[in-house]
Structure 1
Amino acid sequence: MTTATMTVGAVIPVYNHAVPVVGVARALRAHGVPVLMVDDGSEPVCAAALDRLAAEDGIQLLRLPENQGKGGAVMAGLRHAASLGWTHALQIDADGQHDTTDVPAFIAQARQHPAHFICGCPLYDASVPKGRLYGRYATHIWVWINTLSMAVRDSMCGFRIYPLSPTIAVLDRSRIGRRMDFDVEIAVRLVWAGVPVINQPTRVRYPEDGVSHFRVLRDNVLISAMHTRLFFGMLWRAPRLLWRRWAA
């Protein structure tokens, strides 16, 4: 694939982020990036805001009839992006915590390394809740175990670029979590599939009025089950993963 044949568009999963998503989408358009918003069953106020936003140039809306969870929305968005002829999809959260001034750096990496998964590596400011910051390390450690590498520095960052062809191939042959477990699981499975990774530093802040859809009990249970499932998947892949690492 050459730079001339690449098309990078943004996929934004949206669930009741009526205000911040406007700034995120318009910031992406200011960088010349086409935008696909995926309405994951939002309430009427947010749905109406998305309808207005979709009337703007370069912004499209894919509406899911029922809430699928973040992972379900992203997967629907990735498949729709491929149908639009995009070769790469930039995933970014709708809540405004990611710094869109870093978008050119992500796209530059993707253009220089089109076969790579460009994964955001957060640089936090003082707004990050300490409990969430420290809690992430349990997942980091499990990801390093389940990939037998430190290829992915932070699998929970929702700011990343997928090469769509290998990513959709993974989606087609795997049953991947549809909620907050998605970001982690797809990262592990891309490593298993041999997709190389670039960890791109990016600034992250937590807005004081931010809305989080992370449900502590439900999502922690899903994430724990995912780590267990991936661990057993790693065991029979271990010889290949270790051989690949040695050869590299």
Structure 2
Amino acid sequence: MYPNDSIAVVIPSYRVTRHILGVIGGIGPEVTHVFVVDDCCPDKSGAFVREHCKDPRVVVLEHEKNQGVGGAVMTGYQAAIAAGAAVIVKVDGDGQMDPRLIPSFIVPILAGEADYTKGNRFYDLEQLRTMPPLRLLGNAVLSLMSKVSSGYWDIFDPTNGFTAIHADAARHLPFEKISRRYFFETDMLFRLNTLHAVVVDVPMDAVYGDEVSNLKISRIVTEFLAKHFRNFFKRVFYNYYLRNMSLASIELPLGGAMLAFGTVYGLQAWLHSARLGTTTPAGTVMTAALPVLMGVQLILAFLAYDIASVPRRPIHKTIWSRIKHA
């Protein structure tokens, strides 16, 4: 199907011995390399694949220490780049992802429409009935936080691990800085935005079997929330102050300052009046309300600019390709 392009699949392997052979068996002939990364699996999944899988495309890589899904994928990315792959697809080994969909993830990249594609299980509303309610709620919350922190306002389902990336974009990722564990997929989006890479959603069905998820709601509201805040402020600094400046660079800090001033001043005035048992003067109310209203308007104007700034030009077709062929 793709005579001039080498396609690699990376499968992080940790406690998936019941499913991984079926996943490998479902990978079509369009794929030229399959890298199974045994992330110090207690079930010895790497040795299991070596023993039972006869597919000549399969190469097993092993970690001496567990590095999490992010660490396993980064190892696979580096191996795929070294093998000369043009596109690298990441598929989980637990059977939740249908390998027959791989062409759907590859085509937008080879057509020059995207640098990175990812699955989205929310396109078909009928299929959402198969998703456990807790996962549905968690994904909705994570998607909203991811939009703010990553800057990709037009995508959903950020924790979806069925992804593909052009090698020219992957080789410019800071492999050593990307989150190694559950925050990996979301952190990838943040890193891609700092490269101005184009990300496109690919519709897919939600499939749930006997696999066990280790993602906890408590982790979402604590660790994930803190990391989303960190990535948001880093992204804003990179895109609006370090690399470029625009009207939005003024709107956000000015709006935040006015909102904070109006809120603090208004609360102090209200508490003071409450202690004295008097009515707050109209002038004091206006002095507090006006900065709050203006601050909200400025922040909304920044968000409108940020939404309109989602990357639209694939970097593998422009900047990096010119550098590579210079």
Say yes or no: TM over 0.5.
yes
Residues 108-147 of structure 1 aligned to structure 2 (within 5 Å) = 108-113=107-112, 116-123=115-122, 124-147=127-150
- Does the alignment pair 1:157 with 2:221? no
Query: Are 1:12 and 1:35, in contact at CA under 8 Å, matched by a contact in 2?
Result: yes
RMSD between superposed Cα atoms in Å: 2.6
Q: Structure 2: any 5+ residue segments left out of the alignment?
A: 249-304, 313-326
Flag the structure with more relative contact order, 1 or 2, with Cα contacts below 8 A and sequence separation at least 6.
1
Distance 2:109 2:310 in 1: 26
Percent of pairs with identical residues: 24
Deviates more, 1:235-244 or 1:60-69: 235-244
Q: Which residue in the other structure is 2:187 paired with?
A: 185
Residues 36-185 of structure 1 aligned to structure 2 (within 5 Å) = 36-113=35-112, 116-123=115-122, 124-172=127-175, 175-185=177-187
Residues 184-237 of structure 1 show CA distances to partners (whole Å, capped at 9, x for unaligned) of: 111122122111122111112111x11334355557644233212102112213
3-state SS in 2 of match to 1:6 = coil
1:198 to 197, 200, 203: 200
Residues 75-130 of structure 1 show CA distances to partners (whole Å, capped at 9, x for unaligned) of: 11111111111121101111111122222222222221275211111144533211
- Using structure 1 for the length normalisation, give the TM-score: 0.86
Letter aligned with residue 309 of structure 2: R
CA 1:113–1:14 in structure 2 vs 1: closer, same or farther (change >3 Å)?
same
Q: Which residue in the other structure is 2:282 paired with?
A: none
Larger CA Rg, structure 1 vs 2: 2
Letter aligned with residue 199 of structure 2: V
CA 1:142–1:246 in structure 2 vs 1: closer, same or farther (change >3 Å)?
closer
CA 1:228–1:45 in structure 2 vs 1: closer, same or farther (change >3 Å)?
same
Letter aligned with residue 16 of structure 2: H
3-state SS in 1 of match to 2:159 = coil
Query: Are 2:46 and 2:60, in contact at CA under 8 Å, matched by a contact in 1?
Result: no
Distance 1:149 1:49 in 2: 39
- Does the alignment pair 1:225 with 2:289? no
Letter aligned with residue 111 of structure 1: L
3-state SS in 2 of match to 1:126 = helix
CA 1:148–1:60 in structure 2 vs 1: closer, same or farther (change >3 Å)?
closer
Distance 1:247 1:44 in 2: 42
CA 1:29–1:43 in structure 2 vs 1: closer, same or farther (change >3 Å)?
farther
Distance 2:168 2:184 in 1: 18
Q: Which residue in the other structure is 1:235 paired with?
A: 236
Query: Are 1:119 and 1:161, in contact at CA under 8 Å, matched by a contact in 2?
Result: yes
Residues 35-60 of structure 1 show CA distances to partners (whole Å, capped at 9, x for unaligned) of: 11110011245343222245422111
Distance 2:187 2:19 in 1: 26
Distance 2:117 2:181 in 1: 21
Higher strand share: 1
CA 1:130–1:218 in structure 2 vs 1: closer, same or farther (change >3 Å)?
closer
CA 1:190–1:218 in structure 2 vs 1: closer, same or farther (change >3 Å)?
same
Deviates more, 1:192-201 or 1:148-157: 148-157
3-state SS in 1 of match to 2:172 = helix
- Using structure 2 for the length normalisation, give the TM-score: 0.67
Query: Are 2:153 and 2:310, in contact at CA under 8 Å, matched by a contact in 1?
Result: no
